Structures are given as C-alpha cells and as structure tokens.
A = this chain, B = another copy of it.
C-alpha cells in the first residue's frame, strides 16, 4: 500500500489507480493541470478579475489563499472566513475548481464546502493531526513539501492521509532550503522525477515559491513538465506591485499567457497535453448572505469504469 519499503526506498511496483478528480479536473491523468491565481484573496474585485483572466488564458484550476501562514504574527494573515463568499462566488462564476490552504483541522468542514482541493502548506507537512483529519474528510488533498523534508518524509506524510482512508492525495514540490541566495528556494525537480518513477501519486510543481524570482518561473514551468510533473501551481496577480503578499514572485497576466502558449507547444513533444475543461455554463454566484453550498462533487473518486 505504501510507496515506501522502509527503511529503504522504494518498492518499485507502484500501486495503480491513484488519479482522482477535483470537480471537473482530474489530477494524475494524462492532462497537464495548471492551477493559477493570487497568493491571497484580497477582495471580490481583485479575485474575480484575476480568476477571469487566468481562465481566459487556459488555466484549469483557480488558486486563492483564504487562511495564510505567515512567519510574522503582524503580517497579513488572509481574509479568513471573510473570503468565503468571495471564493464561492468567483468559483461559481468562472466554473473553475478552487484550491486553497487549510491551516487547522477545525477549518475542514467549512472550507470543504467552498474549495475543491484542500492544500496542506509546507509549514504543515509534518502536522500529522491535520493530515489524519484530512484523511477522514475524504476530500482531495494536495500536500506541499516542507522546507527541508526528505522525499521519504514527504511520501510518508501523504501516507498519513491515505491510511486514514482517503486515497485522493497529490504532492506539490515548492522548493527546498539550501545555501543559495539568488533564489528564495531551490526547486528540486529530481524529486519530482523520483516520485513519478517510484510512487503512484500525482505531483504538482510550484515554481512561484520554488524560485521566488519572476524571471525564472517560465523556464521552471517548462522544466517541471519535462521532468514529468502532472501540473503546475502559479501565483498570478493583476497588480503584483500592490499585492498584499508575495508580490515579488507573482506573474502578471501577460507573463501567464506567455507560459500557457509555451506549454501548449511543449507538452505534445512530451506526449502530454494541457488539461481542458468541459464547456459548462458559468454558474450563478451565491446570493448575498446565503450559506455556501457544495456546488461541485469535490473529491469524487474515479471508479474503475473511469466515469466521474
């Protein structure tokens, strides 16, 4: 069951069938997934503008932080519950599934109603109590690699979710800490290749945090695809200079379009293609004051027939 054969990696024979759906999107399948959006949801206008722009450029999933993990207690910590209605409306209007971070087990029930993938941030990769609760939740989970987690530890973190009964887990490489100072982190693409060869888990790459340098994001998106990643997670902002968090590494809309163009050229040479969304009518947003409801069948396991 485990991708590991402790204490020596790996078992070789990867279990099959771990690809899964988050709303209309399949992770770990042949389609290359592009998750894009702002670091944090800052306002209705900001999130809607960016969401529509990334959708127009071909993104398959929307990102947007609601609860933020910040080093300093005095930094902007996200809008929290104040972003729930915004998130729900924008998700409905664009038809894009939403990924957002969960930072406390007690957030899972509410957050699970408005997001399609619950992200475990790098700082919480070792938070096993959170991972176990996510395992019990049955919702799709993306586990980011901790700042200096070994690949063995990272796979073992995903295993905490699986062992608790939830097979819908993907990993996200977001750079590791090294002595190097020109980049915020060192993006470890060999780890991506290793996991694709030795486990069945989908792997997403985050070059925004992985480099922290706008000019390096495009080449690292292409390199991530070439290394075998199943998708990328990107910070995009309509006005990076005024972003409340991580502005220095946010792509502009135009940067993002250029990356999409290049990926469309590159992926076929790798035997893959961009994940495309079904043409569904945009959903109406919530009425003001309405309680968020489950619009997508988030986290539906893909049965052996392949039918969602």
Contacts and interface: CB of A to CB of B under 8 A. Distances in A.
Give the contact-size bracket for chain A: 35 or more
Contacts of A147: 146-149
- Complex copy number for this chain: 4
Interface string A95-119: 0000000011100000000000000
A182 B220 contact: no
A214 to B, nearest CB: 11
A267 to B, nearest CB: 8
Contacts of A163: 73-74
Interface of A: 2, 4, 6, 9, 69-74, 103-105, 122-124, 126-129, 146-153, 156, 159-160, 163, 176-183, 186-194, 196-197, 210-211, 213, 215-216, 219-220, 222-228, 265-266, 268-270
Given A69-B126, A146-B147, 8 more contacts: A122-B126, A123-B128, A151-B180, A152-B182, A179-B179, A183-B194, A189-B223, A220-B227
10 smallest A-B Cβ distances: which pairs? A123-B126, A148-B148, A269-B269, A193-B219, A222-B226, A226-B226, A223-B227, A177-B179, A104-B129, A223-B223
